[in-house]
Structure 1
Amino acid sequence: MSSHAVMTVIGKDRIGIVAEVATLLAEHQVSIMNISQQLMDDYFTMIILLDTERCTMPRLQFSEFLDSEGEKRGLHIRVQDEALFNAMHRI
């Protein structure tokens, strides 16, 4: 499995979302390779390309952890393997 993953974050816009997500990643040794964010009316959306090679948790456990942490913060956070994400989003 690739050490790259794609994270999507969606939630009501508020101050600190990027900082909170970046902190969660840093705490688990996950690097941000690229980031894109956008506001759509009152909703904040973000897509991040991650390098998970040094992640402190197995991918499934990390994904479940982020899902749980996202819920606590009013965010929908999803992590997918980069190859799977690309396959699902081909036109």
Structure 2
Amino acid sequence: MNTRALVTVVGIDKIGIIAQVTKVLADNRINIVDIRQTILKDFFTMVLVADLKECPHSLGEIQNQLEQLGRNIGVKITLQNEELFRSMHRI
């Protein structure tokens, strides 16, 4: 089973978005393999690849934590299994 996932974050830019998202990941023993973020005018966007092999929780539990964080800080956070993402975008 692939233990990698894609995390996307989109919203209005404000201080602390990266810190709060990466804290949830670190608290769940999730390693960041790659990360990209940019700000387009006032819009914050971030995509990261995360390795969940050390994470003691299910993908669904982490997704719930990230979605709750997103609601709390006013951004949209999604978590997708890498294999599922690849199969959905196969031509």
User: Is the shorter-chain TM-score for this pair beyond 0.5, marking a shared fold?
Assistant: yes
Name stretches of at least 5 consecutive residues in structure 1 with no aligned partner.
none
The answer on 1:22 being equivalent to 2:22 is yes
Distance 1:80 1:43, change over 3 A: same
Q: Who is 2:43 aligned against?
A: 43
Q: Who is 1:3 aligned against?
A: 3
Identity of aligned residues (%): 37
Whether contact under 8 Å (2:24, 2:65) holds in the other structure is no
Q: Who is 1:55 aligned against?
A: 55
Residue 90 (structure 1) shift: 4.4
Rounded to whole Å, the distance in 2 between the matches of 1:70 and 1:54 is: 23
The answer on 1:70 being equivalent to 2:66 is no
Rounded to whole Å, the distance in 2 between the matches of 1:49 and 1:30 is: 10
Residue identity matched to 1:19:
A
TM-score, scaled to structure 1: 0.91
- 3-state secondary structure, aligned to 1:20: helix
TM-score, scaled to structure 2: 0.91
Count of residues in Structure 1 that have an aligned counterpart in Structure 2: 91
Residue 56 (structure 1) shift: 2.6
Name stretches of at least 5 consecutive residues in structure 2 with no aligned partner.
none
